[in-house]
Chains A and B, each alone.
Chain A
Amino acid sequence: MDKVTTTIDHSVLVNARKASRKKNLVSFLNKIKKNKAAVAGGIIILLYTLMFLIGPILAPYDPYDVQLDQKLQGPSLDHLMGTDDKGRDILSRILYGSRLSIGVGISAVFFGGTIGTLLGLISGYYGKWVDSIISRILDIMLAFPGILLALAIVSALGPSLINVTIAVGFFSIPMFARIVRGSTMEVKKLEYIDAVKTLGANDMTILIKHIFPNILSPIIVQASMRIATAILSAAGLSFLGLGAQPPSPEWGAMLSNGRDFLFTAPYMALFPGIMISILILGFNLFGDGLRDALDPRMKN
Chain B
Amino acid sequence: MILFILKRLAQIIPVTLGVTLVVFLIMQMIPGDPAIILAGEGASQETVAELRENLGLNKPLAVQYTDYIKNLLQGDMGHSLKNNQPVFEEITARLPITIELAFYSILITIILGLIAGIISAIRPYSIMDVGLMIVALLGISLPSFWLGILLMYVFSVQLHWLPVAGWESAKHIILPAVTLGAGGAAIVARMTRSSMLEVVNQDYIRTAKAKGLKGYIIILKHALRNALIPVITVVGLQFGSLLGGTVLVESVFAVNGLGRMIVDAIRTRDIPVVQGGVLVASLIFVFINLFVDILYRFFNKRMDLN
Binding site for B on A (CB under 8 A): 136-137, 139-141, 143-149, 151-159, 232, 235-236, 239-242, 252, 255, 258-259, 262-263, 266, 269, 273, 276-278, 280-281, 284-285, 298, 300
Contact = CB atoms under 8 A, between A and B. Distances in A.
Contacts of B26: 152-153, 155-156
B281 A155 contact: no
B241 A236 contact: no
Given A144-B22, A158-B269, A266-B153, 19 more contacts: A136-B14, A136-B18, A143-B282, A143-B285, A145-B241, A145-B243, A146-B247, A147-B244, A148-B278, A148-B282, A151-B247, A152-B274, A155-B262, A240-B248, A255-B146, A258-B149, A259-B149, A266-B157, A273-B150
Interface string B120-146: 000010000000000001101111111
B242 to A, nearest CB: 8
Contacts of B242: 145-146
A277 B142 contact: yes
Nearest to A282: B141
Given A152-B26, A284-B140, A145 B239 contact: yes
A151 B262 contact: yes
Interface centre among A139, A146, A149, A155 (most CB of B within 10 A): A155
Contacts of A152: 22-23, 26, 274-275, 278
B278 to A, nearest CB: 5
Contact of B149 (A155, A232, A255): A255
Nearest to B246: A146
Interface string B1-40: 0000000000000111011011100110111000000000
A55 B251 CA distance: 31
A262 B149 contact: yes
A280 B146 CA distance: 13
B29 A240 contact: no
B248 A156 contact: no
A140 B283 CA distance: 11
B271 A156 contact: yes
Contact of B27 (A144, A156, A159): A156
Nearest to A150: B244
Interface of B: 14-16, 18-19, 21-23, 26-27, 29-31, 124, 137-138, 140-146, 149-150, 152-153, 157, 193-194, 197-198, 239-245, 247-248, 251-252, 262-263, 265-267, 269, 271, 274-275, 278, 281-282, 285-286, 289
Contacts, number: 153
Contact of A143 (B15, B157, B263): B15
Contacts of A146: 240-245, 247
A144 B149 contact: no
A236 B145 contact: yes
Given A146-B241, A273-B146, A239 B140 contact: no
Contacts of B144: 236
Interface centre among A145, A236, A239 (most CB of B within 10 A): A145
Contact of A148 (B27, B140, B152, B281): B281
B266 A145 contact: no
Given A273-B150, A276-B143, A277-B143, A148 B22 contact: no
A159 B266 CA distance: 8
A232 B237 CA distance: 18
A235 B18 CA distance: 28
B184 to A, nearest CB: 12
A143 B18 contact: yes
A157 B271 CA distance: 11
Contact of B143 (A154, A259, A263, A280): A280
A285 B136 CA distance: 12
Given A145-B285, A148-B244, A155 B269 contact: yes
Nearest to B200: A300
A285 B248 CA distance: 25
Contacts of B18: 136-137, 139-140, 143
A160 B94 CA distance: 27
A300 B266 contact: no
B217 to A, nearest CB: 23
Contacts of B193: 300
A240 B247 contact: yes
Given A151-B262, A154-B266, A255-B149, A300 B274 contact: no
A209 to B, nearest CB: 34
A239 B21 CA distance: 29
Interface centre among A144, A153, A157, A263 (most CB of B within 10 A): A144
Nearest to A255: B146
> Closest 7 CB pairs between A and B?
A146-B244, A140-B18, A273-B146, A156-B29, A281-B141, A145-B243, A145-B240
Interface centre among B141, B153, B262 (most CB of A within 10 A): B141
